[in-house]
Amino acid sequence: MDLTLRIWRQDGPESPGGFVTYQVTGVSADASFLEMLDLLNEQLTEAGDEPVVFESDCREGICGTCGLMVDGKPHGPWEAAAVCQLHMRAYADGDMITVEPWRADAFPVIRDLVVDRSPFDRIIEAGGYISVPTGAAPDANAIPVAKETADEAFEGAVCIGCGACVAACPNGAAQLFTAAKIAHLNLLPQGQPERDARTADMVDTMEQFFGSCTNHAECQAACPKNISIDLIAMMNRDYARAKLRRRGGGAMT
């Protein structure tokens, strides 16, 4: 199939950007969206033009680096899929497709379709780990975890940190990402010793970069892993408890 692409081009964070229209020909319906961009870049390179800069790594919906806005939707028209899992059979010959980077103040454009998602790294650095000294590593099955708890923790653990939740949110909030990263540790026995400190530090760091959640739920709709906003409610509860304890208010029920 032959397609018309409107792609955002921008030389750097301080440079003005704009849409440039390209024609890409000979696209297979079985190709992925990123393979289609690869084909466009081959055609641009052969013509002596600068290829479009975009990120990708696993191309299996695991790493999250491929995040793009496709026709105004994070990751494109398919639900519960990253843009690298989107295939060109979703389109018809002659279609026009608009491709742009995430639109969020916390994610400045580095170049073309690539944005700086390092604020996510700052949140993880603030507490997204378990550091309590435990001596020698125990066997994997030494700490019993109820299946219901394990399943709930895994819902948060599947977050790939792509940033679609931020891009979809009208407030540019990162509550769903932060809640997912907090929940998958806070729900497990190994995460209990640092639960309060982890929650307070990660949320406080998040608020330095991102907007506030007002329950639009666009984050949940855009998430390629179908992570529920119920985790945000859990995070808010844990945050209130952690702050009260830090002020010497004792335990909450």
Position 184: which residue type? H
How confident is the model over 79-97, as pLDDT tens digits? 999 999 999 999 999 999 9
Who has greater pLDDT, 131 or 167? 167
**Residues 93-111, mean pLDDT to the nearest whole number:** 97
**Residues 201-208, mean pLDDT to the nearest whole number:** 98
Confidence (pTM): 0.92
Domain ranges of the chain: 3-111, 117-246
pLDDT at 250: 55
Assigned CATH topology for domain 3-111:
Ubiquitin-like (UB roll) (3.10.20)
Q: Treating both helix axes as pointing N-terminal to C-terminal, what angle do 175-186 and 147-157 enclose, rounded to 10 degrees?
A: 150
CA distance 181 to 160: 10
Q: What is the mean pLDDT of the chain?
A: 94
**Residues 252/240, Cβ–Cβ less than 8 Å:** yes
**Radius of gyration for the alpha carbons in the chain, expressed in angstroms and rounded:** 21
Percent of the chain residues past pLDDT 90, beyond the cut:
89
How confident is the model over 23-52, as pLDDT tens digits? 999 999 999 999 999 999 999 999 999 999
pLDDT at 131: 83
What does the DSSP assignment read for 185-233? HHTSGGGSTTHHHHHHHHHHHHHHHSB---S--HHHHH-TT---THHHH
How confident is the model over 150-159, as pLDDT tens digits? 999 999 999 9
Q: What is the phi/psi pair of residue 119, to 5°?
A: -55, -30
Q: Which CATH number fits domain 117-246: 3.30.70.1400, 1.10.1060.10, 3.90.870.10, 3.40.50.2300?
A: 1.10.1060.10
Grouping H, G, I as helix, E, B as strand and the rest as coil, residue 38 is: helix
Query: Both tokens of residue 235?
Result: 């995070």
